[in-house]
Amino acid sequence: MEHLRIVEVKKIRVGDHLLVDGQEYEFRRED
């Protein structure tokens, strides 16, 4: 399984956007 962490949209660079608790987040891959 891939290791994923949720980061704030303000810090987003790559990844899939996702809606969490009414706020926009993304899952970011930890290589």
pLDDT digits (tens, 9 = 90+) for 8-24: 555 545 456 555 555 66
The reported pLDDT for the residue numbered 25 is: 58
User: What pTM was estimated for this model as a whole?
Assistant: 0.17
More confident residue, 26 or 11: 26
Per-residue pLDDT at 30: 61
Question: What is the pLDDT, as a whole number, of residue 17?
Answer: 57
CA distances from 12 to 9, 19, 28 (A): 5, 13, 8
Tell me the average pLDDT across 26-31.
Answer: 59
pLDDT of res. 14: 47
Q: What single string gives the DSSP state of each residue in 1-30?
A: ---EEEEEGGG--SSEEEEETTEEEEEEE-
- Say how far apart CA 30 and CA 12 lie, in whole Å: 13
**What is the C-alpha to C-alpha distance for residues 21 and 29, in angstroms, rounded to an integer?**
21
